Amino acid sequence: MSAAAAILALVRTWLWIGAGVAALFLTIGIGRIDANARNAFVFRTLLVPGILLIWPLVLWRWWCIERGSPWIARYRPPSAHGAAAVAMAILVLAALGLSLGARQDWPAGFEPRRLADAAP
Amino acid sequence: MSERPFFVGYVGLPRGSRGFAAALAVVLVLGAGLLATMVARSVDDPGPGAFRFDLGPQKVTGIVELTPAPVLHVTEGTSTIAPGHTLMLSGQGKNGALPRARALEGRLATASGILLTRGTLDMLQIGGGEAGLGPATGASAPALPAPEPLGRWALAGEICDGKCASGAMLPGLGIAHKACANLCILNGLPPVFVSTRPVAGASFLLIAGTAEAPMPPELYDWVGEYVTLEGLVRRHGDLLVLTVDPATLERAP
C-alpha cells in the first residue's frame, strides 16, 4: 500500500468511526449530559461535521460528564493555549520573513550569448 | 466569582477593558495594513496573459509536428492567426494534446479552439473530438518546414508550462506556480523557457522533450525558479525550440 493510499484509508476509518460516535452521541448521549438539548433535535445535525473530526474528544467529554466531573471544567482551556498562540504567531512571521529573504530576483541583466554556431 | 472585567458583545464594553480594546484595535489596523503592504509589494506583476474569448473560436489548418509537444505550422489561418505562424497546442484544463496529435504527425490537420496570448507567446486550446483536432480533408500536406539550427546558447530565465504562462493562470509564472507548472508539463502541456532577453527575436522558447517524456526529467526540480542553462536552439517555423543540456542548469545568482 502506498503512503497516499494508507493516508486515505486512515482518514476514511477515522470518519467512519466519527459517524458511529455522532449517531450514538446525538441520539442518546447529548440528552443525557445536557438538559437543554432534550426535546431539541434540529440543531443536532449541525454538530455532525464537528463530531466526525473530533470524536475522541466528544467521547472523552461524554465519559467525564457521565462520571460526574464538574461541568465547568469543560470550558477551561488547556494552559498551553497561550504559549501555542504566541509560538504560531512567531512561526507565521518567521515563515513570511524567510520566504521573502529566500526570494530570487529576476536576472534581468543577463544577456543571452551564442556559445557556438550551428553545426554544419 | 472573579472581579476581572469580561467582555460580552451584547452587554457593552467594561470600563476596565476600554484602553486595552482601543490599543488592540489600533495595533490590528496598523499591523494588518503593514502586512498587506508587505505582501502586495512582494508580488510580481502577473502579466497580460489571457484566454482570448473576445476573439471567438479560432479554426486553422496546418501541419502537425511533435517536439514531442504538438505544434501546428499554420497553412490556412484566421484574421488573428496568420499563415506561416507556428502554434503550440493544448487540450482542455491540464491535459496536453499529444495523445490526439500523435496520429496526425506530419499530416495536414484542422484545429479549432480558443487562443491564449501573452505578448508574443500564444497557444491554441483545442476543443474536444475531431472538431477540435482532426485530419484536414481534400488537401495533401505540404512538407514540414525544415528546422533551422541556431547554435548553442547560454540563457537565463525560467522554465514554466506554456499554457499557464500564456494566460490560463495568473500568475502563470514564478515559484508560487511551481507545482501547477509541473503537473501541467507532466500531463503533456508544452514546457516553455522564458528568457530574460530575446534570443534570435523571441523571448519564449519551446523546450524539447525526449522520446519518453514531454520534458527531460532532470528539469522538473528547476521549474518556476530563475536559472541559467545552456542548450541548442533551433527554429521550427517561427517558433524557437530549445534542447536543454541538463548538466549546465544552475540557480541564477
pLDDT at position A75, please? 60
- Chain A contact probe: residue of B37, B44, B153 with most A CBs at under 10 A: B153
- Chain A contact probe: residue of B155, B159, B245 with most A CBs at under 10 A: B155
Question: What's the whole-number mean pLDDT along residues B56-67?
Answer: 93
**Residues B172 and B223 reside in one and the same domain:** yes
Asked if the Cβ–Cβ distance from B198 to A106 is below 8 Å, we say no
Has residue A2 got a pLDDT over 90? Answer: no
Residue among B35, B42, B153 minimizing CB distance to A112: B153
pLDDT-derived band at B152 (thresholds 50, 70, 90) equals very high
Exposed/middle/buried for residue B78 (C-beta within 10 Å: 0-12, 13-18, 19+): middle
Q: Residue B132's closest CA among B161, B99, B164?
A: B99
Measured CA to CA, the distance from residue B127 to residue B114 in angstroms comes to 8
Query: Could you state, in order of their start, the residue ranges of all structural domains in chain A?
Result: 3-77
In this prediction, the answer to ipTM > 0.90 reads no
pLDDT at position A78, please? 64
Mean pLDDT, chain B, integer? 90
B84, B104, B135 - which closes a domain: B135
Has residue B228 got a pLDDT over 70? Answer: yes
pLDDT at position A117, please? 82
Q: What are the cell numbers at B14?
A: 467594561
pLDDT at position B90, please? 95
Q: What are the cell numbers at A102?
A: 529566500
Assign residue B138 a region (left: φ > 0; alpha: ψ between -120 and 50; beta: otherwise). Answer: left
By residue range, what is the domain housing residue B181?
148-251
**Residues B58 and B16 reside in one and the same domain:** no
Q: State the DSSP string of chain B.
A: ---S----GGG---GGGHHHHHHHHHHHHHHHHHHHHHHHHHSPP--S-EE-GGG--EEEEEEEEESSSEEEEEEE--SSS-TT-EEEEE-STT--SHHHHGGGBTSEEEEEEEEEEETTEEEEEE-SHHHHEEEPSS-PPPPPPPPEEEEEEEEEEEEEEHHIIIIISSS-SSGGGHHHHHHHHHTTPPEEEEEEEEETTEEEEEEP--SS-SS-GGGGGGTTSEEEEEEEEEEETTEEEEEEEEEEEEE--
More confident residue, A77 or B176: B176
**Residues B196 and B214 reside in one and the same domain:** yes
Percentage, residues of chain A above pLDDT 70: 90
Asked if the Cβ–Cβ distance from B228 to A117 is below 8 Å, we say no
Has residue A110 got a pLDDT over 80? Answer: yes
Please report residues of A whose CB lies closer than 8 A to that of B149: 118-119
pLDDT-derived band at B144 (thresholds 50, 70, 90) equals confident
**Residues B208 and B161 reside in one and the same domain:** yes
Question: What's the whole-number mean pLDDT along residues B219-242?
Answer: 94
**Residues B162 and B220 reside in one and the same domain:** yes
pLDDT at position B16, please? 82
Measured CA to CA, the distance from residue B153 to residue B202 in angstroms comes to 13
Within a 10 A sphere around the Cβ of B47, how many other Cβ atoms?
16
Mean pLDDT, chain A, integer? 88
Task: Decide if B111 is inside a domain.
Answer: yes
Has residue B141 got a pLDDT over 80? Answer: no
pLDDT-derived band at B8 (thresholds 50, 70, 90) equals confident
Of B10-24, B88-102, B235-249, least confident by mean pLDDT is: B10-24
Q: Which amino acid is at B140?
A: S
Task: Decide if B35 is inside a domain.
Answer: yes
Asked if the Cβ–Cβ distance from A107 to B157 is below 8 Å, we say yes
**Any residues with CB less than 8 A from the CB of B228 and at least 6 apart, and which?**
A107, A110, B154, B155, B156, B248, B249, B250, B251, B252
Question: What's the whole-number mean pLDDT along residues B226-246?
Answer: 95
Question: What's the whole-number mean pLDDT along residues B242-251?
Answer: 94
Residue among A103, A106, A116 minimizing CB distance to B152: A116
Task: Decide if B156 is inside a domain.
Answer: yes
Find the residue in B nearest to A104 (Cα): B226
More confident residue, B17 or A10: A10
Measured CA to CA, the distance from residue B238 to residue B235 in angstroms comes to 6
More confident residue, B88 or B8: B88
Task: Decide if B3 is inside a domain.
Answer: no
Task: Decide if B4 is inside a domain.
Answer: no
Question: What's the whole-number mean pLDDT along residues B44-57?
Answer: 89
Pairs across A and B, CB distance < 8 A: 62
Place of cell 545568482: B253
Has residue A13 got a pLDDT over 80? Answer: yes
**Residues B16 and B101 reside in one and the same domain:** no
Q: Residue B35's closest CA among A100, A104, A106?
A: A100
Please report residues of A whose CB lies closer than 8 A to that of B230: 115
Give how far A28 is from chain B: nearest CA, Å.
Answer: 33
Give how far A94 is from chain B: nearest CA, Å.
Answer: 13
Q: Which amino acid is at B59?
A: K
More confident residue, B188 or A76: B188
Residue among B148, B157, B230 minimizing CB distance to A115: B230
Q: Give the number of domains in chain B.
A: 3
pLDDT at position B206, please? 96
More confident residue, A94 or B144: A94
pLDDT-derived band at B71 (thresholds 50, 70, 90) equals very high
**Residues B19 and B96 reside in one and the same domain:** no
Q: How far apart are the first and last CA of chain A?
A: 53
Q: How many residues does chain B have?
A: 253
Interface residue ranges in chain A relative to chain B, Cβ cutoff 8 Å: 96, 100, 103-119
Place of cell 499554420: B74
Of A43-47, B104-108, B141-145, B175-179, least confident by mean pLDDT is: B141-145
**Residues B170 and B233 reside in one and the same domain:** yes
Q: Residue B133's closest CA among B96, B183, B82, B179?
A: B96
Please report residues of B whose CB lies closer than 8 A to that of A115: 151-154, 230
Please report residues of B whose CB lies closer than 8 A to that of A105: 226
B112, B135, B158 - which closes a domain: B135
The predicted-structure confidence for A23-82, as pLDDT tens digits, reads as follows 999 999 999 988 889 989 999 999 999 999 999 999 988 988 888 866 565 566 567 888
CA angle B152, B69, B178 (to 5 degrees): 80
- Chain B contact probe: residue of A93, A100, A114 with most B CBs at under 10 A: A114
**Residues B34 and B68 reside in one and the same domain:** no
**Residues B176 and B225 reside in one and the same domain:** yes
Q: Which amino acid is at B35?
A: L
CATH number at residue B123: 2.40.50
Give how far B194 is from chain A: nearest CA, Å.
Answer: 11
Q: How far apart are the first and last CA of chain B?
A: 63
Measured CA to CA, the distance from residue B145 to residue B143 in angstroms comes to 6
Question: What's the whole-number mean pLDDT along residues B63-80?
Answer: 92
Has residue B231 got a pLDDT over 60? Answer: yes
- Chain B contact probe: residue of A93, A96, A106, A117 with most B CBs at under 10 A: A106
